[in-house]
Structure 1
Amino acid sequence: MSGKVVDNSRRKFLKNSGLVTLSTFLPLSIYACQPGKTSKIRFGLTTDSHYADRNHSGTRYYRDSIAKMNEFVEVMNREKVDFVAHLGDFKDEDLNQEEADTLRYLETLENAYAKFDGPRFHCVGNHDVDSIRKEQFLSHIENTGIDKSKSYYSFDKEGFHFVVLDANYHADGRDQFYKEGADWQDANIPEVEFNWLKQDLEENDLPTIVFCHHPLYEFNKEGAKFHVNDYQRFQQLFEASGKVLAVFHGHVHAEEHTQINGIHYVTQLGMVDYEGLENNSFAIVEIDDQAIHIKGYKRVSNLTLEV
């Protein structure tokens, strides 16, 4: 975890919004034992299910993601969370890379995800546009209350603003399609989306959470680049708004948290990895008056983040 940086303008906004009720910011160890915390919102979060009817490869057990998704939805329904979000790479493809088969895998997993009794949302991941195009992916899923043509969007729930971003673009703004040779390490958010985000943050006066499949901070692993190109200007935009509490990502199949200029950046483990329900991975994120609490299930760790 990076060192803590205080952002006074952001704290002033959060205090005025009602999220922060203490005049003095306490360390997390004190937050954990404070009585009378009031939960503002609770939502379910998972990522990188990569469902396909294919044999496992390395740590990825593609077929197991149906049972894992069913378990995720069952827990979220039992816990009565306000909504669920999937951070991308919802489905995968088999070795033949056939469009019809890929659509079938998508429909099968979406049917399981749709059993959640409430609003549900998706980020677009790079594997979601492998042997099908982005418009095909979007037409076969539901983002509750969102037009099916939209791959990036925002919504409000329980006094919070949520932004979903899409980095599956070439540098010139064209949609990526991996069957036509897109480079998965070349993740871009085009100017039109950046301008939309800037306006969205300006028009919103609520504490904000951002979801994006690709990390919006530098993330390199095993010689590969996982982050969005030009991620720095998105960080600067978040910081200038004074409203963004945290940014959640998938993509890297690794668990990491860093804090940059007062904003939390969190990546989550992939659902597809390792065999059986005992290796499932998902979380409930709860925001109260004092912190963001990530309650991990199975392989996901618990984490409390000061806001």
Structure 2
Amino acid sequence: MKKIGRHIWISLLLIGCSMLANGQSAAPLVRFGLIADIQYANFDTRGTRFYRNSLKKLEESVREFNKAKVPFIINLGDITDRNPDDLAPVLKELGKFRSKVYQTSGNHDYKGVKDNAALYRKLGMPAEYYSFKKGEWRFVMLNTNEVASYANVTGTWKEDELNQMIQTIKQANGNNAEEYNGGISSRQLKWLQQQLQTAENRSEKVLIFSHHPFSCADGLTALNDKEVLALVSKFSCVKALIAGHHHAGAFCEENAIPCIVAEGMVETADQNAYGIIELYPDKLTLTGYGRMTSRTLYFNKKK
């Protein structure tokens, strides 16, 4: 009986070693919550957007994130819909989360805002765009509203870049030159390249987050989507692009890079939309709740 027990123990040990050798792990390396397009407003429902209902949905998602003990949340923007005064009740609900919330702004968040820096301070953003690390993972938080007609660029160097982006889209017969879309500046693009080069040199893995998608959402992508995609496609460290803005949600691949568009919380009367992402050496799993789609993405090592 002792020999049988010893054989079973050895077999289990070998199985465990085999799983680790194949890049599989019993526990994720990193876990975090994901939400997009809360778009709260103290305003009547319009179409499928139930603005007031977002607070209750947010309360539910924060409660579940706390229960699941996720170490942090990433919020992909459009926190409010049209009034800066609506930000306070949203931040109050987010404040009930027991740990850190990393945020980026969305196009709706600039309505009624004259000072972009003040908005970023309220959202707890350390800068207009930024990055942070968790273990071997680098999280890059882009700001696709930096160059946009709604983002107080008039009379600045960013206005010239906006006009150039619009002209490029029209020359290519594109359909994303809309007032609700924005792009990233040449300076932010250079910063992104530096972030990716550093990550590549240090053998880090990278996730890139933004409000506007760079693909998967026809007519709703960032103004200079193709320029950004051309850059990130050069770096094997980039494992996924994750965005909001397109409330229906979507998924596609660009040059073997998975592109996830998260479903918006504001849609429908009572069906929520939030998720928990877990990162493993060889894959990303998104467990969706409500309308958010669950996915498992295996990293392409030969990209």
Relative to structure 1, is the Cα distance of residues 196 and 124 closer, same or farther in structure 2, using a 3 angstrom cutoff?
A: same
* Aligned counterpart for 1:59 among listed residues 40, 48, 52: 48
Structure 1 residue 190 corresponds to structure 2 residue 185: yes
Structure 1 residue 126 corresponds to structure 2 residue 107: yes
* Aligned counterpart for 2:64 among listed residues 47, 70, 75: 75
In the TM superposition, what is the alpha-carbon distance from 1:259 to its structure 2 partner?
1.5
Give the match for residue 148 of structure 2. 170
Relative to structure 1, is the Cα distance of residues 37 and 261 closer, same or farther in structure 2, using a 3 angstrom cutoff?
A: farther
The one-letter code of the counterpart of 1:138 is Y
In the TM superposition, what is the alpha-carbon distance from 1:250 to its structure 2 partner?
0.5
SS of residue matched to 1:70 = helix
CA contact (8 A) 1:21 1:290 kept: no
User: Hey, what's the Cα distance between the residues in 2 that align with 1:70 and 1:197?
Assistant: 33
Q: Alpha carbon RMSD of aligned pairs, Å?
A: 2.1
Q: Deviations for 1:246-273, whole angstroms, at most 9, x for unmatched residues?
A: 0111001022111222211000111011
In the TM superposition, what is the alpha-carbon distance from 1:21 to its structure 2 partner?
5.0
Which segments of 5 or more consecutive residues in structure 1 lack a partner in the other structure?
A: 1-19, 24-33, 94-101, 177-181
Q: Deviations for 1:45-86, whole angstroms, at most 9, x for unmatched residues?
A: 010011111111001111111111111111111111121011
Q: Which has the larger radius of gyration?
A: 2
In the TM superposition, what is the alpha-carbon distance from 1:104 to its structure 2 partner?
2.3
Q: TM-score, normalised by structure 2?
A: 0.78
Give the match for residue 215 of structure 1. 213
In the TM superposition, what is the alpha-carbon distance from 1:185 to its structure 2 partner?
4.3
User: Hey, what's the Cα distance between the residues in 1 that align with 2:291 and 2:267?
Assistant: 10
SS of residue matched to 1:112 = helix
Give the match for residue 84 of structure 2. 103
Structure 1 residue 200 corresponds to structure 2 residue 189: no
User: Hey, what's the Cα distance between the residues in 2 that align with 1:170 and 1:69?
Assistant: 28
SS of residue matched to 1:81 = coil
User: Hey, what's the Cα distance between the residues in 2 that align with 1:253 and 1:63?
Assistant: 16
The one-letter code of the counterpart of 2:122 is H
Instruction: State the identity as a percent.
Output: 28
Q: TM-score, normalised by structure 1?
A: 0.77
Relative to structure 1, is the Cα distance of residues 151 and 21 closer, same or farther in structure 2, using a 3 angstrom cutoff?
A: farther
The one-letter code of the counterpart of 1:242 is S
In the TM superposition, what is the alpha-carbon distance from 1:186 to its structure 2 partner?
4.2
In the TM superposition, what is the alpha-carbon distance from 1:302 to its structure 2 partner?
1.2
SS of residue matched to 1:50 = coil
CA contact (8 A) 1:188 1:228 kept: yes
Instruction: State how many pairs are aligned.
Output: 253
**Structure of higher RCO (CA pairs closer than 8 Å, 6+ residues apart):** 1
In the TM superposition, what is the alpha-carbon distance from 1:130 to its structure 2 partner?
1.4
In the TM superposition, what is the alpha-carbon distance from 1:139 to its structure 2 partner?
2.6
Structure 1 residue 138 corresponds to structure 2 residue 133: no
SS of residue matched to 1:282 = strand
Give the match for residue 155 of structure 1. 132
